[in-house]
């Protein structure tokens, strides 16, 4: 069985997406994928943005079934296969659209890219001292080894079983998240918590709440900390590319409930000007993408555009606070409007008051929703450990 070895430009067509320019772009508004929407083996399609595309641009920048969508920056090489998840999807400048020729099966090509991502074979192609990029001219020369097409199809059929498993797990995760949100609304918005029949509503500065409840600041419920700015010290080198995960605001936005994938890493030198946060920390974005939340699943560093919340040991309430922030996300965004970039100050974030029940109710709620979140974490780990994820 003879394998072929060819440069990517000989076995696939590819291009970068369209530059976002609100003053120059014309045509109809269409959704597009940016770097933060592309994960390994899947897409984060929540809160997609739109830009204008003209009719003659649809063929060049529009996605078709079997296209591979790859990050040009952030974590260069990170990619997934487009399978018509959303009609009419386009791509933005920071994305490579790779369309394999008939001699190459898209599932097999994705496996090649996945292997390169796992083994660091993309790294020699990167440019940039701090933020890495994978330019088109470098990608074009990437060598692809492939068996005959029938063998590629057999490999693809095996991988499709994992695709089905990931899709099923993702649906189950969404259901579990909805269940947790429904319980929160019932207990803390509608005030129909266990034993509510015996508790009367009383007046408070922000409306009626059950007797014995209090309006508290987040700092009353736990520790609030802010990530550190990534100012490059004079004459410092080698801040990036080490063993310490460095999450960005875009990573928090792209995550669902738990934070797994990161776009950059710190070295020992980078860690010296940052700090590590422990698993279980609730991460909240306060710049650019306001009030996105996710729970940290591994020890990592964060920039100053992310706030971390750790609940008091006596009052386990990370899930309670996460679900509360989801209900007031629009309010947080409304008070964070900036002239160039939205920004929510830590002071404004702490000004939001949480209708907080007695500790016994908080503990009961924590016991009620913890199995749901444990299942979400278990399913997320299974997806993360599949052959489609490095």
- Residue 371, classed as helix, strand or coil, is helix
Which phi and psi angles does 301 have, rounded to 5°? -105, 160
**Residue 24 in domain:** yes
Helices 106-119 & 149-184, crossing angle to 10 degrees?
70
Instruction: Give per-residue pLDDT as tens, 229-284.
Output: 665 544 445 677 788 888 888 888 878 799 887 777 888 877 877 778 999 999 99
Q: Residue 335's pLDDT is what?
A: 80
Q: Are residues 94 and 185 in the same domain?
A: no
Cα–Cα nearest to 136, from 82, 70, 56:
70
Distance CA 191, CA 201 (A): 9
**Residue 386 in domain:** no
Below-50 pLDDT ranges, the chain: 233-236, 390
**CATH code of the domain covering residue 142:** 3.90.220.20
Q: Are residues 121 and 228 in the same domain?
A: no
Q: CA 254, 32, 289, 130 torsion: positive or negative?
A: positive
Q: Are residues 126 and 82 in the same domain?
A: yes
Q: Are residues 263 and 339 in the same domain?
A: yes
Q: Residue 332's pLDDT is what?
A: 85
Q: Are residues 192 and 335 in the same domain?
A: yes
**Residue 229 in domain:** yes
Q: Are residues 56 and 197 in the same domain?
A: no
Distance CA 361, CA 35 (A): 41
Q: Residue 138's pLDDT is what?
A: 93
Cα–Cα nearest to 298, from 381, 228, 241:
381
Q: Are residues 276 and 349 in the same domain?
A: yes
Q: Residue 32's pLDDT is what?
A: 94
Q: Are residues 133 and 62 in the same domain?
A: yes
**Structural domains of the chain, count:** 2
Q: Are residues 136 and 207 in the same domain?
A: no
Distance CA 159, CA 107 (A): 8
Q: Are residues 208 and 275 in the same domain?
A: yes
Q: Residue 234's pLDDT is what?
A: 42
**Residue 373 in domain:** no
Q: Residue 341's pLDDT is what?
A: 61
Helices 318-327 & 359-384, crossing angle to 10 degrees?
90
Q: Residue 288's pLDDT is what?
A: 73
Q: Are residues 282 and 342 in the same domain?
A: yes
Q: Which structural domain, as residue segments, surrounds residue 196?
A: 177-358
DSSP symbols for 267-318: -HHHHTTS--B-TTPEEEE-BSSTT-EEEE-S-BB--TTEEEEEE-TTS--H
pTM: 0.69
**Residue 162 in domain:** no
Q: Residue 36's pLDDT is what?
A: 86
Distance CA 90, CA 61 (A): 5
Q: Are residues 182 and 121 in the same domain?
A: no
Distance CA 54, CA 56 (A): 6
């Amino acid at each position: 069985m003879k394998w072929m070895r060819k440069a990517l430009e000989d076995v696939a067509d590819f291009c970068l997406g369209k530059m976002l320019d609100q003053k120059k772009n014309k045509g109809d508004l269409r959704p597009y994928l940016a770097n933060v929407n592309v994960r390994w083996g899947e897409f984060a399609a929540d809160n997609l943005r739109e830009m204008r595309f003209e009719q003659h641009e649809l063929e060049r920048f529009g996605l078709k079934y079997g296209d591979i969508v790859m990050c040009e920056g952030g974590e260069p090489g990170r990619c997934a296969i487009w399978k018509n998840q959303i009609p009419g999807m386009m791509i933005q400048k920071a994305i490579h659209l790779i369309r394999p020729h008939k001699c190459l099966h898209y599932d097999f090509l994705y496996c090649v890219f996945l292997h390169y991502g796992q083994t660091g074979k993309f790294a020699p192609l990167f440019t940039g001292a701090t933020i890495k990029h994978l330019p088109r001219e470098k990608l074009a020369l990437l060598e692809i080894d492939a068996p005959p097409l029938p063998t590629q199809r057999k490999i693809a059929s095996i991988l499709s079983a994992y695709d089905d498993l990931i899709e099923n797990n993702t649906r189950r995760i969404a259901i579990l998240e909805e269940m947790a949100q429904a319980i929160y609304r019932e207990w803390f918005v509608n005030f129909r918590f266990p034993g509510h029949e015996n508790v009367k509503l009383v007046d408070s500065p922000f409306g009626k709440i059950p007797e014995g409840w209090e309006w508290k600041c987040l700092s009353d419920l736990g520790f609030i900390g802010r990530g550190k700015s990534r100012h490059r010290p004079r004459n410092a080198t080698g801040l990036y590319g080490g063993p310490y995960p460095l999450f960005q605001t875009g990573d928090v936005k792209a995550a669902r409930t738990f934070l797994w994938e990161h776009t950059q890493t710190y070295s020992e030198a980078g860690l010296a000007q940052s700090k590590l946060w422990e698993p279980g920390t609730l991460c909240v974005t306060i710049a650019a993408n306001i009030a996105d939340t996710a729970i940290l699943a591994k020890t990592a560093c964060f920039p100053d555009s992310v706030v971390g919340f750790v609940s008091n040991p006596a009052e386990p309430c990370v899930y309670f606070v996460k679900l509360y922030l989801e209900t007031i996300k629009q309010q947080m965004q409304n008070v964070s409007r900036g002239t160039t970039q939205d920004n929510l100050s830590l002071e404004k974030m702490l000004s939001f008051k949480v209708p907080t029940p007695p500790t016994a109710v908080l503990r009961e709620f924590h016991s009620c929703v913890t199995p749901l979140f444990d299942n979400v974490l278990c399913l997320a780990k299974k997806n993360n450990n599949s052959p489609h994820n490095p």
